[in-house]
Chains A and B, each alone.
Chain A
Amino acid sequence: MSTSLRFILVATRICAALALLGHSAPLAAQDITLQSRDLGIEVSGSLLSFDGEYYRLDSRFGPLTIRADGVSCAGTNCPNLETLVIEARLTGTSQLTRTLLPELLDSFARDRGMRLTRRILDPRQSEYVLSRTADDSEAARFLVTSGTTEDGFLALLNGDADIALAAREPLAVEDLAAQASEPGGQPPLYRRGRIVALDAMVAVTAPDVALRAISPEDLASVFTGRIQSWAELGQQDQPIRLHLPEVESGLSQMFVRDVIAPSGRALAPEVIRHDDLGDLAAAVAADPTAIGITALAASGITRPLALSGSCGYALLPDDTGLKTEDYPFTAPLYLYTPPRRLPRLVREFVAYFESAASERLVRQAGFVSQTITASPLEDQGRRLAQAILAAGPETNLLGLQDLAQAMAQSARLSSTIRFADGSSEFDTQSRASISRLARALERGEFDGRRLVFVGFSDGAGAASANLRLSVNRAEAVAQAVRDAAFSADLSQVEFSTQGFGEALPMACDDTAWGRAVNRRVEVWLQ
């Protein structure tokens, strides 16, 4: 069943359930009664959950959340505070459940004087039990179900999961289903995601294959059967064997949406599918005639290909390429939470993804962390040379000289902000970059330095309009960073903005993905 159909069905089911709820006036069993300490207010209902801090109960006023320390509980279903075990259910992409999540739970548990036991219930489901080392009592259970991103969103919307683990942002249909299942739920689903690690969709070959780069257009031709021989990619004449992850994986969906769909053709039928990305990497590594699509973190010993365009730039899926999103198929991994309060220990675990310990585990699992890094000055020189080579009839010498002057003595930070076509809305990774920059400002990491926000545009449209657009975007980003760094002493840092229009392209402007890579605001540190 297609994703959209499944989500429309869920949304319909949820709407029907809500309509039924509205009519069922006589209340279900009144499990518990909460009474305020001064005995003034009393409310009864069935207990939905208790997290040690808050009762959630389904009362005749609807679902209520009531702070535990202000009330006393009466009724046989009142939770026992002494034996309370926090429970959380996490469902979603196996890219996260495989090694990063267990290792994060281990580190999180040990930081809190707890030990971790993994109960393997079946190949796709494990219960992780956190027990206090001091007295061996259970503190929490995390039930982790491994599947696809789609499984994660479905479980979150159905109330079967407290956290969805995703390899992509929600589709429009998933956002719609969320609105139906959580009427008035704020913020909306697409704003409740946080990036936990950076990864990328990459095309891979066996390590000893000579091919180093491929254009997304050629990749589409290969996977739709238009190109069937390595000879057409400049190699020995042999048939190409194709490998893809399973149909419902976030990666496969991203590949079809971003690479196959723009070609207007359908996937070749002879594609070999793999449930396990490790199996895919092993199959491609052992076959010099294979090309596969996988995640960078799961690429093993295969060789990830750079992406090339007709103007000769090769965009590399390396740490810098992913952090800056210069590599166009950067695919961050996300956690999505429900529009309700999670127990404190679970909130702490969600926050733990941003800890220093987490950064190390993220890198260890093969992902790229979001730590801000600065590219060396030589890189700026190389990019300036590219800008001169790419200068079109609309680029004047004065503009290039300005660019050269601004680039001198400034290092590019990995924080790069990108925009949808013609929009000023930041994508999720860009919002995370702005937030990280703000936190660094609050810690005083840039005190005494100058931060230059430098806007660039794609080459579509008139150069003068693009120049204005790039200046406006740079100013918008600088303001967003200032607003987010509310506790920073901004008098210690000099902010400035500049716009260079289409002067420094990272990719060719002849494709949608190339233009998306070029529309950006970079942050330079002087």
Chain B
Amino acid sequence: MKRFLTHWRLLGVLLLFGLVAVIWIGTVREAPRIAVDLTPQPPSQPNLNAQLLSPDQSIGQRFAESTPVSASGRTQAEASDRLGLPCGLSLAGEAGGLAMITLHIADPCRPDTQMMIEHGGLRFTVETDFTGSAEVSVPALQSPANIVLAQSSGATQTVWISVPELAAYHRVALYWTADAPMELRAESHSSEARGIERTQAQPGQADDVLRGDGGHLMTFGSADTASPILAHVYTAPRDVIGPPRNVRFSLEIPIDAQSCGHVARGGIAQTGLTGGLSQMELEVPLPACDGQNSVLRLPNLLRDLTLGSG
């Protein structure tokens, strides 16, 4: 019996240690970030909601409707999570190499929750881990970059981050919703290779954005969530050493039993001269279902890029 009680005491001490460790990690993770307004925005604030949802009300609304909400609202009454950590969303980020932004998201009251990131006409969804945190790479499309994080409750948080390095890169982005997956294709033509080099999408890793001297295509967003929004982003340096090359872009939408008859929805964005950014949303009514699988290819929606000097 005494031995049994000792085991219980030991377990209690371990649990206490665990709790202290979680609180400590949480504090350290917050410390070195760029200062942002950490005050949670109540869902009723119209201006920020407008900023987030207006670029595509339908996608925004559907995101809010379809995502399971892990905590009901975010009022002052709900002040802390199960471990006593203060509730509320904090968002911070810093610019890294290759004009990528590392975004640190923390909301201890919303573990395993889907959130949407929006920046310059690009969107994708991410999910917080069991502590309510997420660390996400976001490709900058504008500098200063305005990044909005939206929760399914409608609450949003905004952060501005300067990304001077963006001036050295071209960027082309596509996002899509789960109804009909899309794909961004980049074809590089150069006279020297006497052939076409196709770039395939890779998972988003800040370390491998650029392969050698050419462009690189990455995937953003987590597909394992309830109603994912995913993105492909192509990055290429403005100054390329080597023979000139022309990069042509196309969108491909697989037509299968899941997507046929639907309207594919998403958006495209492309950087331009002197920090300009072009962006628009896309709606592509897909052919009716006929039992056949095919691929709808849409060329010429994005400007070709000429890399290197002629």
Contacts A/B (CB < 8 Å), 23 sampled: A98-B300, A103-B303, A106-B279, A115-B56, A116-B279, A117-B283, A118-B281, A119-B282, A120-B283, A123-B298, A133-B50, A133-B54, A207-B243, A208-B192, A282-B196, A300-B189, A300-B306, A301-B190, A301-B308, A360-B274, A361-B272, A361-B276, A361-B278
Chain A contacts for B299, CB-based, 8 A: 276, 278
Q: Does B273 contact A (CB under 8 A)?
A: yes
Q: Is the CB of A116 within 8 A of B280?
A: yes
- In the complex, the answer to whether A365 meets B191 with C-beta atoms within 8 Å is no
0/1 per residue, A278-317, Cβ < 8 Å to B? 1001100110100000000000110100000000000000
Q: Would you call A121 an interface residue if the criterion is a C-beta within 8 Å of the partner chain's C-beta atoms?
A: yes
Interface hits, B94-125 → A, CB 8 Å: none
Partner of B278 from A107, A115, A207, A288 at Cβ < 8 Å: A107
Scoring B194, B243, B283 by chain A CB atoms within 10 A of each residue's CB, the highest score goes to B283
CB-based nearest B residue for A104:
B278
Q: Is B18 part of the binding interface, using a Cβ–Cβ cutoff of 8 Å?
A: no
Write the residues of chain A forming the contact surface with B, with a CB cutoff of 8 angstroms: 94, 98-99, 102-103, 105-107, 115-121, 123, 128, 133-134, 136, 206-208, 276, 278, 281-282, 285-286, 288, 300-301, 303, 360-361, 363-365
Taking CB atoms, residues of chain A closer than 8 Å to B278 are: 102-103, 106-107, 361
The 10 closest A-B pairs by CB, nearest first: A300-B246, A117-B281, A301-B244, A116-B280, A136-B57, A119-B283, A364-B272, A103-B278, A133-B54, A99-B303
Q: Is there contact, CB below 8 Å, between A303 and B310? A: yes
Q: B32 contacts which chain A residues (CB < 8 A)?
A: none
B285 on interface, CB distance cutoff 8 Å: yes
CB neighbours (8 Å) of A206 from chain B are: 191
Interface magnitude class on chain B: 35 or more
Known: A98-B300, A276-B299, A300-B304. A116 touches B191 (CB 8 A): no
- Residue numbers in B under 8 Å from A136 (CB-CB): 54, 57
CB distance from A321 to the nearest CB of B (A): 16
Task: Known pairs A94-B300, A115-B56, A282-B246; list 16 more (Cβ under 8 Å).
Answer: A102-B278, A102-B301, A103-B303, A115-B54, A115-B281, A116-B279, A116-B280, A118-B282, A118-B283, A120-B283, A120-B284, A278-B299, A282-B196, A285-B246, A300-B306, A301-B189
In the assembled complex, the Cα of A105 lies from the Cα of B280 at a distance in Å of 9
Check B280–A106 contact: CB distance below 8 A.
yes
User: Is B55 an interface residue, CB under 8 A from the partner?
Assistant: yes
Q: Are A278 and B304 in contact (CB under 8 A)?
A: yes
CB of B195 closer than 8 Å to a CB of A: yes
Partner of B246 from A115, A288, A301, A365 at Cβ < 8 Å: A301
Q: Is the CB–CB distance between B272 and A120 below 8 Å?
A: no
B contact residues around A278 at 8 Å (CB): 248, 299-300, 304
Give CA–CA (A361, B278) in the complex, Å: 9
Bound complex: CA of A117 vs CA of B308, how far in Å? 32
Is B232 on the interface with A (CB-CB < 8 A)?
A: no
Residues on B with C-beta less than 8 A from A123 are 298
Chain B residues contacting A94 (CB-CB under 8 Å) are 300
A136 and chain B: residue at smallest CB distance: B57
Chain A residues, Cβ within 8 Å of B282 = 117-120
Beta-carbon nearest neighbor of B192 in chain A? A208
Please give, as numbers and ranges, the residues of chain A lying within 8 Å of B283 by CB-CB distance. 117-120
Do A301 and B191 form a contact, CB below 8 Å, given A116-B280, A117-B282? yes
Closest chain-A Cβ to B118's Cβ sits at a distance in Å of 12
Chain A proximity of B55: nearest CB distance (Å): 6
Complex: A365 Cα to B54 Cα, angstroms: 28
- Alpha-carbon distance A286/B244, docked complex (angstroms): 12
Say yes or no: is B216 at the interface (Cβ < 8 Å to chain A): no
- CB within 8 Å of A: which of B242-264? 243-246, 248
Q: B244's closest neighbor in chain A, by CB?
A: A301
Instruction: Give Cα A153–Cα B245 distance, bound, in whole angstroms.
Output: 36
Contact flags B203-215 to A (C-beta < 8 A → 1, else 0): 0000000000000
With the chains together, A385 CA to B190 CA distance in Å? 39
**A102 and B246 contacting across the interface, CB-CB below 8 Å:** no
A116 touches B273 (CB 8 A): no
Asked if residues A276 and B300 are in contact (CB atoms below 8 Å), the reply is yes
How distant is A114 from chain B, measured CB to nearest CB, in Å?
10
Contacts of A300 in B (CB 8 A): 189, 246, 304, 306
Question: Which residues of chain A are within 8 angstroms of B57 by Cβ–Cβ distance?
Answer: 136
CA distance A68 to B173 in the complex (A): 44
Asked whether B280 lies within 8 Å of A286 as measured between CB atoms, the reply is no
A106 proximity list for chain B (CB < 8 A): 278-280
Q: Which residues of B contact A115 (CB under 8 A)?
A: 54-56, 280-281
Task: Return chain A residues, CB-CB under 8 Å to B243.
Answer: 207
Q: Is the CB of A282 within 8 A of B191?
A: no
Residue from the list A118, A121, A134, A365 in contact with B280, Cβ < 8 A:
A118
Other-chain contact of A364, B56, B273, B279, B280 (Cβ < 8 Å): B273
Docked complex Cα distance between A98 and B248 (Å): 13
Q: Are B246 and A286 in contact (CB under 8 A)?
A: no
Give the residues in chain B near A360, CB-CB below 8 Å: 272-274, 276
